[in-house]
């Protein structure tokens, strides 16, 4: 998974999805990052049908970088992928 750092993209292991509240509970063990993706589908649609959404310019999926062991989650809130604008 590509993760935007300060000046470049880093590739790290994909860990899946994490709820925003669970990510906040981890405190200093994690760091918010922007995920390098073009499209996404919410993981909890429940019907098995993927509803792909394209990201707008300067819109990113919010990621949660776990420092040890290193890997990244996509952050969800209310069972939907959390996006951010930069």
**Domain range annotation of the chain:** 2-40+53-85
63 burial level (CB within 10 Å; 0-12, 13-18, 19+): buried
| Residue in the block written with tokens 């590509």 | 2
pLDDT (0 to 100) of residue 27: 81
CB-count exposure of residue 76 (10 Å: 0-12, 13-18, 19+)? buried
> For 46-69, how does the pLDDT look when each residue is reduced to its tens digit (9 = 90+)?
666 777 899 998 899 999 999 888
Phi, psi of 68 (to 5 degrees): -145, 120
Q: Is the pLDDT of residue 73 over 90?
A: yes
For position 15, what pLDDT does the model report?
Answer: 93
Q: What is the reported pTM?
A: 0.81
The string of pLDDT tens digits covering residues 1-54 is 555 555 567 788 999 999 999 998 888 778 899 998 889 887 665 666 777 899
The sign one gets for the Cα dihedral 24, 30, 31, 36 is: negative
């Amino acid at each position: 998974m590509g993760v935007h750092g300060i000046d470049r993209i880093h590739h790290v292991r994909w860990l899946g999805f994490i709820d925003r509240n669970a990510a906040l509970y981890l405190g200093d063990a994690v760091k918010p990052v922007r995920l390098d993706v073009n499209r996404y589908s919410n993981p909890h649609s429940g019907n098995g049908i993927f509803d792909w959404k394209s990201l707008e310019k300067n819109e990113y999926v919010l990621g949660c970088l776990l420092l040890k062991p290193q890997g990244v989650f996509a952050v969800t809130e209310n069972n939907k992928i959390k996006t951010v604008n930069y």
